[in-house]
Amino acid sequence: MEAIVTPHLPASTEDPINSQILAVSEDRVQGFQEDPFNEIARLSGVDTDTVIERIRGMLKAGTIRRVRQTLLATNLAKGSLVAWQVPEDRLQEAFDWMFRDDPFTGHVVIRSTDAPISGARFRLWTTVKVPQGFSLKKHCEYLATQTGATAFRLMPAKRLFTLGVGHVRRRSMEPGSKAERVADPIDTNIVELSDLEWRVLVPLKREFEPEEIQRNLWEGRAEEAGVSLATFYEVARGLNARRVIGRFSTFLEHKKQLGTGEQVARFNALFHWAVPPGREIEAGGEVGRFHIMTHAYWREGGPEFGNVNVMGVAHGRDKEWVLAHKKAIDEHLASVGIPVSYTNVFWGGRSEIKPSEISPLVYREWCLSRGVDPESMHSDESEEPSHA
């Protein structure tokens, strides 16, 4: 009997079919979908079976680093961008500790600037979330004791304007490409969940293994939650209506070199703009309409960062190309009458990304495992974002 040979599937993002799928699957499947692969097929024009086969293959090959249902976690847990000042001889060690030992830290990036500004001494940048009821400031104070950080600045998002990392569809984008209208601000109010909603949410958000990439995607997750598939769908749709659910996404390894030899995006730029107080939402909406922006938000940087209040992230393979996009945004802000008193670019170097844990139960267990009393980490209602 002749053996059945499985054809080798291309894993490169440059492959035409993979590129067609990824241009959709990275960040265009919004909200909760009962059949996300069918939705990717509909939007990409590639049949569902091929979509499943290619995503599973790219995940196995490491081109895709994870497949998961994202959440609008700013509505579920207190979160912040945090800039850390760490002695240079402990910088790599602190990076490793943040990524390895803190489940509540997501992005970890070492950044640098082209200009020697005061904020340049803050080399380590992370995102941190703590579950409802616990203190971001106290958590970061503990992280500082573990990593040797001498100062940190909390910069929680006051509004979001865009959130969606789609490297493949952005890599040939012309500088200045933007939407017809300004980006709508997204609120960051905390939503409280019931026990049933948490039971569904925990398996809903966990990333998928390659063998799980198949039709009937959610059956196993409903079983894990201990509910029927119909109940799982009902709760997920309710969470979606409450703006807790983000997008169904395939995440690429954009900074590291892939097994195919590709590097999806060599340059990761964090843009800073300081606009007049009271015009943050207007300016954020204008920045967020530019298609190159993967993130745009209103955050307060304080005096260490020129009192910046609008930030955004863009990625690209060429530094000058990334700067051309920023120049187009700068010129647009001037053309619509929004003055900028300070602007800068913080370039990303070494980076790691993982989903931040947001479960209160996991937080308590983590505290106890490290000899920390969970009760001592509760938030104080009078807390304000600050630096230590």
Give the model confidence (pLDDT) of 262-301 as tens digits: 555 578 899 999 999 999 999 999 999 998 888 899 999 9
User: What are residue 71's phi and psi, to 5 degrees?
Assistant: -120, 155
**CA-CA distance, 152 to 105, in Å (whole number)?**
14
Mean pLDDT calculated for residue range 218-233: 97
- Domain-by-domain residue ranges, the chain? 74-183+267-352
Q: Is 348 helix (H, G, I), strand (E, B) or coil?
A: strand
**CA-CA distance, 196 to 232, in Å (whole number)?**
10
Mean pLDDT calculated for residue range 122-146: 96
pLDDT tier at 165 (50, 70, 90 boundaries)? low
pLDDT digits (tens, 9 = 90+) for 306-343: 999 999 999 887 899 899 999 999 999 999 999 999 99
pLDDT tier at 1 (50, 70, 90 boundaries)? very low
The pLDDT assigned to 246 comes to: 84
The pLDDT assigned to 4 comes to: 37
Mean pLDDT calculated for residue range 171-176: 77
pLDDT digits (tens, 9 = 90+) for 190-202: 788 899 999 999 8
Buried-exposed string 188-222: b where 16+ CB fall within 10 A, e elsewhere: beeeebeeebbbbbbbbbeebeeeebeeebbeebb
Q: Which CATH class is domain 74-183+267-352?
A: alpha beta
pLDDT tier at 387 (50, 70, 90 boundaries)? very low
**CA-CA distance, 354 to 227, in Å (whole number)?**
27
Count of Cβ atoms closer than 10 Å to residue 45 Cβ: 9
